[in-house]
Amino acid sequence: MKTKSIFIIASIVLASTLTLSSCSTKTRAINQLESLTYDLRDNSANYSLSDWQDAANRYIDIRKKINKHYTDYSADEKERIGKLQGEAANYVAKGAKSSLINNVGGIASELKGLLEGIMGLVGGSSDK
């Protein structure tokens, strides 16, 4: 009888630990998504290509964790996940637009220099 009681108590403790661990992991994934979203909001305007790759890898890892526990999330948690993903996508789009404009500006300057060089050669004003 004593052994059976110990087994039951041990089973309850193990089940509680697994449940708490699962809740902690699924909550951690939402918190990581929130952290990434805030990081994108605050820093993405200055991201380098490497920073964007790191952010993409973080997002992929977070999505894997969320997908693993998706059926365990409540409707409110799923709504929060959707909102955070929407905000993150907005910051990515803004960052990509900013990056594109900056790169186009750099390319435009390079192209202008190239054209001036060509025109200088065509016009006979080259420095031979």
Which residues of the chain carry a pLDDT beneath 70?
A: 1-23, 96-128
Does residue 41 belong to any structural domain of this protein? yes
Q: What is the structure's pLDDT at 6?
A: 61
Q: Is residue 19 part of a domain?
A: no
Give domain status of residue 86, yes or no: yes
- Spatial contact of 82 and 90, defined as CB atoms under 8 Å apart: no
Domain containing 57 equals 26-118
Q: pLDDT tens, 108-119?
A: 565 566 656 655
Give the whole-angstrom CA distance, residue 16 versus residue 11. Answer: 8
Residue 15 lies in a domain: no
Per-residue tokens: 109: 């300057």
What is the structure's pLDDT at 5?
A: 60
In a domain, 80, yes or no: yes
Grouping H, G, I as helix, E, B as strand and the rest as coil, residue 97 is helix
Residue at 64 is within a domain:
yes
Q: Contacts for 71-78 with beta carbons within 8 Å, 24 or more apart?
A: 72/22, 72/26, 73/26, 77/26, 77/30
| Tally of structural domains, the chain | 1
